[in-house]
Structures are given as structure tokens and as C-alpha cells.
Structure 1
Amino acid sequence: MYNKILLPIDLNHKASWDRALPTALVLCKTYDASLHVVTVMPDFGLPLVGGFFPKEFTDQAKKALTDQFKEFIKEHVPKDIKVQRIVVDGKPYEAILRVSKKLNVDLIVMASHKRKRLEEYLLGTNAMRVVQQSKKSVMIVR
């Protein structure tokens, strides 16, 4: 049923993977699917903030994040799971949608955090935006 499963995570927020990762792993084992774990790096090159950082900052930040990501996968994903690590930049929901389309995944498994109703109404969450805009199935894990 599923061949490729996308799991967006934020390495700095355990709630983004604490429950979603075990769910994705079970699905991968059940369907012999590959796991594609994506983490999104903020876009430091934006004109508004880009001037505050040295030119090499983005490359250094991406390398540090990639190293941290590699260790995370080694520690949390069993060796029998086919896994791909993906580091992208930009707005989280846009990056998730872009990666899911590029990889042609069958399912996106992601966490959702409880937020205030007014805040959801005004801003929306990344999970909600992915659900609304994705052409692929999305499983929200709470």
C-alpha cells in the first residue's frame, strides 16, 4: 500500500518526532516501505535577515544540522529500515510539500501540536497547511 513514507521532523522539538517516528517505523516495517526523513532549515538568505549573518553562516549551519541529523537517524532508526535524510530550507510546510512532490511519496506522517484556537484560526499550523495543500495522503499523529 505504501512504498515511500515522508516524515518531517524538527530536531530541536522532540514533539515533532516523539510519536510520529514510531508510527512511521511501524508503517515502514508493515509495508516494507522506505522512510524519507526531512528537516527544514530556516532560510537565512532572506533579504530581511541575510544581512545580519556572515556569508558562510548558511553553509556552516547546514553542515552542523546535517551532522546532527545523521546522528539522530543512527540513534533512532533501525538498520533494517531503508532511510533517506533530507535537509531543505524555506518555510516548513512549503518545503514538506515540495519534497513530497519531488519524491512522489505515498504518505506523509507528521506530528501536530496542540495550539490555541485563535492562533490556529489566524496563523494555521504547518500540519494543517500540509493537510490542506497536499495531493498525497497525510497522517497526523498526536
Structure 2
Amino acid sequence: MYQRILLPIDLNHKASWNKALPAALQLCQDHGASLHLLTVLPNFGMPLVGGFFPKEFAERVKKEISEGMKTFVRDNVPKDIKVQRIVADGKPWEAILRISNKIDADLIVMASHKRKKIEEFLIGTNAMRVVQQSKRSVLIVR
């Protein structure tokens, strides 16, 4: 049923993967699917943001995150699961939708974070935006 499962994670926030990773791993094992781990960095190339950082900063950060993803996979993903590590930039929900289309994901597995009501009203959550706009199935894990 599933061949490619996308799991967005934030390496600095365990809540983004603590419960979602086991669910995604179980689905991968049950269906023989590959796991596509996605980490999204802020868009350093934007003029407003880019001016505050040296030119090589974005590449250095991507390299460090890539190394962190390797360590994460080694420590948390069984060897029998095929894994692709992806580092993207931009707004998290937009990057998740873009990458899910690019890899032709069958399922997006995401954690849901509790936020203050005013934050949800003003900006919404990444999970909510992905659910609303994705043409792919989305599993939200609480």
C-alpha cells in the first residue's frame, strides 16, 4: 500500500519525531516502504534574512544538518529500512508539500505539537497547513 513515507523532523526538537518516528518505522516495516526523513531550514537566501549571515553560512549549516541526519538515522532507524535523508529550505509546511510531491510520497507522517491558541489562530501550525493543502495522505501522530 505504501512505498514512500515522508517524515519531517526537527533534530533540535524531540517532540517532532519522538512519537511519529515509531509510527513511520512500523508502517515502513509493514509495507516494505522506504523512509524519507526531511529537515527544513529557514530560507537564508531571502534578502531580508540573507544580509545577516555570511555567504557561506547556509552551506555550512546544511552540511552540519546533513551530518546530524546521518547520526540520527544510525541511532534511530533499523538497518533493514531504506532511508533517504533530505535537507530543504523555506517555510516548513511549504517544503513538506514540495518534497512530498518531488519524491511522490504515498504518506506523510507528522507529529502534532501543542501551541498556544493565539498562535494557531494567527499563524496556524505546520501540520494543519500540510493536512489542509496536501493531495497526499497525512497521518498526524499525537
* The two structures share one fold, judged by TM-score above 0.5: yes
Instruction: Find the counterpart in structure 1 of residue 32 from structure 2.
Output: 32
Q: Counterparts of 1:16-95 in structure 2 under 5 Å?
A: 16-95=16-95
Task: Letter of the 1:59 partner, please give it.
Answer: E
Q: How far, CA to CA, are the matches of 1:55 and 1:122 in structure 2?
A: 32
Aligned-residue sequence identity (percent) comes to 70
Distance 1:54 1:119 in 2: 31
Deviation at 1:32, TM superposition (A): 0.7
Aligned match of 1:133? 133
SS at match of 1:35: strand
| Deviation larger for 49-58 or 93-102 | 49-58
Query: Which residue identity is paired with 1:115?
Result: R
C-alpha separation in 1, matches of 2:141 and 2:58: 31
Alpha-carbon shift at residue 119 of structure 1 (Å):
1.9
Could you tell me which runs of 5 or more consecutive residues in structure 2 were left unpaired when the two chains were aligned.
Answer: none
- The secondary structure found in structure 1 opposite 2:135 is coil
| SS of structure 2 residue aligned to 1:113 | coil
Give the TM-score, by structure 1 length. 0.97
CA displacement at 1:116 relative to structure 2: 2.1
The one-letter code of the counterpart of 2:116 is K
Give the letter aligned to residue 114 of structure 1.
K
* Structure 1 alignment gaps of length 5 or more: none
TM-score (norm 2): 0.97
Q: Note the aligned Cα RMSD (angstroms).
A: 0.7
Q: Deviations over 1:3-47 (max 9, x none)?
A: 110000000100000000000000000111110010001111111
For structure 1, which segment, 117-126 or 76-85, has the greater mean C-alpha deviation from structure 2 after superposition? 117-126
Q: Describe the SS at the equivalent of 1:65.
A: helix
Aligned positions of 1:94-133 closer than 5 A: 94-133=94-133
C-alpha separation between the residues in 2 aligned to 1:91 and 1:109?
18
